[in-house]
Amino acid sequence: MADDTLFPVTPKVGALEPVESPRYETAHREQVELQPCDLEALLPPGHAARLVWHFVEGLDLRRFYEGIRARTDGPGRAAIDPKILIALWLYATIDGVGSAREVDRLCDRHDAYRWMRGGVSVNYHTLADFRVQHAAELDDLLTQSISALMYGGVVRLARVAQDGTRVRASAGVGSFRREATLQACLRAARQQVARTARPADGTTASREAAAQHRAAQERLARVDDALAHLPAIAAAKARKRSATPARASTTDPDARIMKMSDGGFRPGYNIQLATDVDARVIVGVRVITSSSDNGQVIPMLNEIERRTGRTPERWLVDGGYVNHASLDEATRRGSLLVAPVMAAKNGRAATAEWVNADARTHRTLAQIGVRGLIKVHTWVLWAALAHNLLRTMHLVPHLMT
């Protein structure tokens, strides 16, 4: 007989019938929700991302826009506004992020990056290419940042300090080969290029085969470049009277084995920075492949004169920079070269390390993530521009609001 009871009585505890489980709604946080979002409301007034954007808006970016191929009413997809990419990389550099993939991820998950992106779609390929393809334009932006602070009387070049720091290159010690080994690698690379070449019957190669052929060509170019660097490396060893044979890297032919600050020897680059002592603003950037700082005063002096049109009144350097030629040339140009006396044989007295310490606090300079002297120089320009941006925020905050 059917039970006509509207609300059946729940059996008492201990009865033979099973007790029904309670019914309720619980949280399921793995599900995707679509919510309306006002990007402008994501960040409060005065947020660092807003200041970075304001800084970028004050720059002359005509050289970036002139390189855009897509034109109004013309074919092709519209390019990403260079202002967005510059702001993203400046903010990422300040944030200590040096990976294009990580910046791409943050553009979807971090409010500051989402705000700067402003709904424009970006990907890590575009970000990675943009970072290293605009060396001349970035050099011009660094000059603009220095000129603006000079115009405001913040940078006076009364005292400029130069210091070098060696950074780890994106190459392994095992990639360095002698000439005989490089010649063998060259023959093997040429054979690999021939094996992966396009089929002789004219058929189109698959995407995988095309990728293999492209990788083989890149390998061949690196080995050939490494062989081209050997004479210069051998000449440098001869000047130092080193008995070890010359070796070049097949991963990054521009990198050199250098003694790092911890006493170890690893592939690296020597980053030279010149800083206005009073404002602590970077006014000169150079990247060299020599581990020695000797003889680097005059090239940096030329760098600053090119950017500012002026010669620093006083030039502070460490003992490792001093030689008679630098002293004579700096004096002739009207700059007083100040350097400590060498403490002892093979010793090095210090004067300028503290001046450039702020610039080296960027985690993106701990180890370079690109290969080749030009790309490394571009990487350092981003760090220098980000450093000057931070100094601008500190020195003239009213200009950033």
What are the residue boundaries of the structural domains of the chain, listed by start?
A: 40-70+78-131, 142-171+255-373, 175-249
Q: Please determine, for residue 38, whether its predicted confidence score (pLDDT) is greater than 60.
A: yes
Residue 196 has a pLDDT of: 87
6: pLDDT confidence band, cut at 50, 70 and 90?
A: low
The string of pLDDT tens digits covering residues 73-94 is 777 788 899 999 999 999 999 9
User: How crowded is residue 328: how many other Cβ atoms within 10 Å of its Cβ?
Assistant: 12
Q: Could you tell me where the beta strands, DSSP code E, fall in 245-384?
A: 248-249, 256-259, 265-276, 281-288, 314-316, 336-338
Angstrom distance (rounded) from CA 176 to CA 256: 9
| pLDDT confidence tier of residue 134, bands split at 50, 70 and 90 | very high
Calculate the alpha carbon distances from 123 to 90, 96, 104, 106, 128 in Å: 17, 19, 6, 11, 9
How many CA atoms lie within 13 Å of 348's alpha carbon, on the beta-carbon side?
Answer: 14
For the stretch 281-299, pLDDT in tens is 999 999 999 988 998 999 9
| pLDDT grade for 11, boundaries at 50, 70 and 90 | low
pLDDT of residue 375: 93
Give the span between the Cα atoms of 105 and 220, in whole angstroms. Answer: 33
Answer whether 379's CB lies under 8 Å from 368's CB. yes
Dihedral in degrees, nearest 10, Cα atoms 180, 185, 188, 189: -140
Lowest mean pLDDT among 67-81, 134-148, 156-170: 67-81
Average pLDDT on 214-237 reads 92
Q: How far, in Å, CA of 44 to CA of 266, rounded?
A: 44
Instruction: Tell me how far apart the alpha carbons of residues 258 and 97 are, in angstroms, rounded to a whole number.
Output: 25
What pLDDT is stored for residue 398 in this prediction?
Answer: 62
Q: Which residue has the higher pLDDT, 358 or 262?
A: 262
Strand partners, 272: 164, 286
The CATH number of the structural domain formed by 142-171+255-373 is 3.30.420
Higher pLDDT, 288 or 207: 288
Q: What H or E segment, with its residue span, contains residue 381?
A: helix 373-395
Average pLDDT over residues 148-159: 93
- Residue 244, pLDDT above cutoff 60: yes
Helix (H, G, I), strand (E, B) or coil at 236: helix
Q: What is the pLDDT of residues 293-346, one digit of tens each?
A: 998 999 999 999 999 999 999 999 988 888 889 889 999 999 999 888 765 555
Q: How far apart are CA 230 and CA 232, in angstroms?
A: 6
CA distance 311 to 212: 52
Number of H helices, E strands in the chain: 12, 8
pLDDT of the residue at 219: 92
Please give the Cα distance from 253 to 232 (Å, whole number): 11
Return the SS3 of 285: strand
Do the Cβ atoms of 256 and 268 come closer than 8 Å?
yes
* Cβ proximity of 289 and 376 under 8 Å: no
* Mean pLDDT score, 179-200: 90
Give percent above pLDDT 90 in the chain. 59
Angle in degrees, CA 117, 119, 123, rounded to 5: 60
Section 97-126 average pLDDT: 94
Asked whether 120 and 127 are in contact (CB, 8 A), the reply is: no
Q: What is the pLDDT of residue 302?
A: 96
Residue 200 has what pLDDT? 64
Q: Which residue has the tokens 């109004």?
A: 72
**Residue the block writes with tokens 């510059």:** 86
pLDDT at 367 over 80: no
Bridge partner list, 13 = none
Q: Report how far residue 244's alpha carbon sits from residue 127's, in angstroms, rounded to the nearest whole number.
A: 41
DSSP state, 133? Answer: S
Across 141-166, average pLDDT: 93
Mean of the per-residue pLDDT values of the chain: 86
Q: What percent of the chain has pLDDT over 70?
A: 87
Q: 333 CB contacts (<8 Å, ≥6 apart)?
A: 301, 311
